[in-house]
Structure 1
Amino acid sequence: MRYLFEDFAFDTDRRELHRGTEMVSIAPQVFDLLDYLIRNRERVVSKDDLISAVWNGRVVSDAALTTRLNAARSAIGDTGEKQRLIKTLPRKGFRFVGTVEEAERSTVEPAGSAAHSGDTKHVPASAPRLSIVVLPFANLGGDIEQDYFVDGVTENLTTDLSRIGGSFVIGRHTAFTYKNKAVDLKQIGRELNVRYVLEGSVQRGSNQLRVNVQLIDAETGSLLWAERFEKPVADLFDMQDEIVSRLASTLNAQLIAAEARRAERSLHPDAMDLYFQGMARWNKRWTPEHMAQARSFFDRALALDSENVEALVGIAAVDAASATLLLVDDPRVRLLAAEKALTKALSLAPQHALAHMFLGVVQFATNRAAQGIAECEHALALNRNLADAHGSLGAAKIFAGRAAETEACILEALRLSPRDEGVHRWLSYVGGAKFQLGADTEAVVWLRRSLKANPNYPVAHFQLAAGLALLGELDEARAAVKAGLALDPTFTIRRTRGISWSDNPTFRAGAKRVSKGMRMAGVPEG
């Protein structure tokens, strides 16, 4: 159905909003809110009505609802002051008051539309950001009894991808209409109005399971990313869970990178374009340069939309990481700023998994380890595939004096995302835990693994130097300090004391041993 009002066309089938021939960018949740208001324009709808329809009854703050209403008004050229189209009735609710004409979509097409024209050369430019269909994986083994396993991978991956913030994922019932059919991926993109198509296959041998996946740009048909991995056949349900978790974790980063490349071609980037470009930098190595670039994009996004939740979380992530990785001399200031941004983000989006995770990081780095652990666990309850939340949980355990539990958390992070950018950090957390447990030899082993994953990680060089010095290997320790200072010439022992990390006696004893080792290795005192 198409709803026409003023010079706008609101298409519920294709989930598009046009002003004349121009496509208006609109977030999926804002689209749903506007859809509900227009469909129910003959009556006043209450706040509870909107929450039930748009958020499925989840707890939503007044600030979050106001933000979405303001975004809906902005998309159709209205404001909270004018209320020309969306009127707020105090203590009653809201009503769409514009004059609306209904039209079947096939009778009125916007200029240049390819819908139903037989033109399969491109996807409409209006395909939503992060829009994807997961096609049914192919069962290459030919064993019909294995179909349930292969279909389960498709269904669960569809569900998990929908947890990505701002994603638009085609439902499994629609996706399964393409099962066992020869398909033109560009045509599927046009038919479903999605930017990306994921296809894959599963092949089971006598004792080995092989999974192949490909992420395709539905507009061009080009391959964006491919992965293949094999595992010994074990418990099929456990394997299904691991396959889905790995793919969902990796695809999150791959889709953001693809959206960032699109955004770079935009002459007039909006807040979400800038957010994706910031995240693409963030997902690279966490160097001061990359984080500064990411922060710049997030700042620009907030300048356009002061309540952009993703940009708020991005800024908090940069500040929290800069502080906890000892990259700056003002960690307390950075952590305070991060907590302020996260508090605002969570007031707008209470169920934002990454926001909860980074709030946990801020808390365990500011002598609130128990709260930090709870926030990381909350993040995992919201998104079980958030590998970095397992890593952060492992770090939080150190600050709580529970270092013996850290390794298991890190192993789970590695299982979910073995090629993650954060692998070197996670490995170094285990090294830190081993120091606390007095296992200096094991700490050195884990820190060497960290530096093998990323030789350009300064903190691990200084940690390694401490471990080697404590073991009496002073020549190697000094070499590690030299390597660390080459990467970060400003690093000092004083910087490690710039945060009131924790007053847990077990943690403090371990931290003193690391400082002693650094001092023995020749790290500048500062």
Structure 2
Amino acid sequence: MIYRFDAFECDTDKFELRKNGARVAIEPQVFSVIQFLIENRERMISKTDLIDAVWDGRIVSDAAVSSRIRSARQALEDSGKTRRLIQTVHGRGFRFVAKVAEVTRPVSIAVKGAVSEPAGQTTQRGDGLALPARKGCPSIAVLPFDDFSVNQHDGFFAAGLTEEVVANLSRFHDLFVFSRSTTAALTGQQATIGELRERIGADFVIEGSVRKSDTRVRVTFQLIDTATDGHVLAERFDRECSLTSVFEIQDKIALLIAARVANRRDLLDDQMQLTDRHGRPEKWETYRSIARYYEYVRIRDPGLHASLRDDLRDAVQRDPKSSDAWAALAVVLLDQYRFPVKARDNRTLLNEAHRNARCAISLDPDNAFAHQALAMVQFYRNELENFLSSVETSIALNPGKADALAEFGYCFYMAGHIERAIFFLDRSSELNPLEDGIPRLFRAGCWFMQDRFEDAMREISKSPMPGAYWYHAYVIAISHASGNRERAEKEAAKMRKRFPNFMTDRLAMNKTLCVSHEVDAKFATIWEKYLS
């Protein structure tokens, strides 16, 4: 549903506030306040009503409610004396008083074997692929655990522990958990607790440290309320150094936080006991390989790729019950298939990646990462119906996994479904505001396809990728379309020198990457002017 009022639109499907068509930066919880006030504009809303709806009945201070109302007014430019949108009923509550028009979003149509738009219409999301709403769901950012291990070779342990805590918390649908890539990027910029709240809308932050020796492992963590910067929970675990002990610590952290934050202490005893989880590694070497995979995804280094691929192949032979290891191997093999500059027909790699992703799911059907890996492989196998099903499962299991949403956005873009691509890329950007250049490259491509050439130029300029094959090619087309022929010629000179066979090589790459004719043709019309 879209609610239109004044110069604004409140888009509940995309969880987005817009002014005159442009997105307004806003915290998720503030958006929920605005949405609840609009949906109940026929009556006065008390603070208790807001707490029940937005905070799911958790105990919060009057100051926290007042802070959200103030932020809502600032986002709506309603902070003056007139209060033309949100009025305060003194001593009782609030009312949304602006005139609102309701706009129903067009319904999308699923077509066998393809993803298609209704005739003459566009949709903002994939068929049936509505991302779970964050309304009323406490959001948690898990910061990378500090490593104080005795042996420098144990540095993998902190990265692995961080990712496992994220994965465990994501299994509680009472919580919204940001992916590690989001928090790692913000931590790299030394963002404060308050900035985490402001930039990504985190209600709570988890920070901690690990110390591993040959015989003992010690883990401490703190749960911090970003509204007050106060500690809600602090624990320390000191155990013998074994994978069993580590998994017990990871599970205990997740259960304690879910019970405290979601205000559901029954979780400690209910059927979601994480210790029953299948598909966990049984050897330290496997745990280390999975942690190396997280580092590879962060930097996508070709040298690391080759050694990691061989390492993971050994890992799944030594430790065949690890779901994450099989899923990581599937993605690494898929990267080998889809990323070479000169494409070659290597279906063997794609088929091996498919088997590995299937194996990961068979070991742990609730592993969002495994379903993400399978979805990606299915897209490149041109199995679009299966791809859609796996995407839906992956985001249902973990809607806060920014890297997965970005990957799905790339796939929709390459298939020519631009509105769906923008939907997923925008959500990924909201979850990870410090995203790298690749999401920006594809978002620029989306806007180029929509003839938004100036927007495309601004977006692609935010994260330059010198030497990257598609980056220079896209800059040529976007620069030409936006009227900067000098920049286009400069990039073309780089392309002719570095990739002299681009115009023929790209045809093979299009087949490998499943690039639609419509996307290729619009760019190729310009490339032919500069590169033929």
TM-score range, shorter chain: 0.3 to 0.5
TM-score scaled to structure 1, two decimals?
Answer: 0.47
Relative contact order, higher structure (CA 8 A, sep 6+): 2
TM-score scaled to structure 2, two decimals?
Answer: 0.47
